[in-house]
Amino acid sequence: MGLTRRRVYEIVEVARAGDRASRVFDCAILGLIALNVLAVVLESVAAIEARFSGFFNLFEMGSVLVFTIEYALRLWSCVENPRYARPVGGRLRFALTPLLVLDLLAILPFYLPLFFPHLAAFRSLRLIRLFRLFKAARYSESLRLLGRVMREKKEQLGGTLFVLSLMLVVAGALLYCVEREAQPDAFSSIPATMWWAVATFTTVGYGDIYPVTVLGKIMASIMAIAGLAIAAIPTGIIASGFMEHAQKDKRVCPHCGKELP
């Protein structure tokens, strides 16, 4: 039993070099994920959904069956990993990892109406199936690297988010004071003005709300320029994280994993 479970664990995890069975499994799951995303997109077209609704329902049931078996196998075999070796506690810890939570969300929309029939009327619940797209993160080294960089740089990114939030409040308060008499409907409150500030800082603009006073236009111009600088800060932090990992990978032997001199 232990040997069988070990082999299952090796297959369902990301394929290692030379493991043909695991590589086939990974490609099959990735292909099924792509087809599911395509099905969700096509189902949103009324004419296609009406004509092929039976096929979509059969495909959905088959996909859920495969994803459910995959989820069960991962949960069953995870104890082969020393970090989750405890039969109950280890599996609970593994079930709460981000990738397993995504796996659960991928099949949840199918099972929820079975236990809560009133949810069957909410067609928007089916859109949660798009979470299946995030299952592909398990097989993408780039996405895993992005996740590591985000975790490592969380303090810097959090500081940037705090500064941005502070500037949004200040910008909203200032524009509210300047524009509220000229445009009481558009700049009716600080929260309403903060929505304009968000659109300005992200440089997307918002055509229905814009300052008309001279002072308001000057302040808006400064905020739009500041938005460009603020948007560049998180990008720079993440880019530096990627560069650090790239330099670190160069110093590690790809065969033995030992650090190079």
What CATH number has the domain bearing residue 203? 1.10.287.70
**Together in a domain, 172 and 204:** yes
Q: Percentage of the chain surpassing pLDDT 90? A: 13
What would the pLDDT profile of 208-233 be if each residue is shown by its tens digit?
Answer: 677 888 888 888 888 888 877 777 78
Q: Where in the sequence is the domain holding 235, given as residue range(s)?
A: 154-250
What would the pLDDT profile of 77-124 be if each residue is shown by its tens digit?
Answer: 999 988 898 889 999 999 999 888 888 888 887 887 777 776 655 555
Query: Is a pLDDT exceeding 70 seen at residue 256?
Result: no
Residue 260 lies in a domain: no
What CATH number has the domain bearing residue 121? 1.20.120.350
Which of 171, 168, 148, 146 has the alpha carbon at shortest distance from 235? 146
Write down the pTM of the prediction: 0.64
Report, as an integer, the average pLDDT of 130-136.
Answer: 76
**Together in a domain, 167 and 215:** yes
**Inter-residue contact 201 to 223 (CB < 8 Å):** yes
What would the pLDDT profile of 58-73 be if each residue is shown by its tens digit?
Answer: 998 999 999 999 999 9
**Together in a domain, 99 and 183:** no
Residue 231 lies in a domain: yes
How many domains does the chain divide into?
Answer: 2
Confidence of residue 250 (pLDDT cuts 50, 70, 90): low
List, in order, residues 6 or more apart from 33 with CB less than 8 Å away.
Answer: 132, 133, 135, 136
Q: What's residue 251's pLDDT? A: 55
Write down the mean pLDDT value for the chain.
81
**Together in a domain, 105 and 225:** no
**Together in a domain, 203 and 79:** no
Is the pLDDT higher at 16 or at 165?
165
**Burial category of 23 from C-beta neighbours within 10 Å (exposed 0-12, middle 13-18, buried 19 and up):** middle
**Inter-residue contact 39 to 56 (CB < 8 Å):** yes
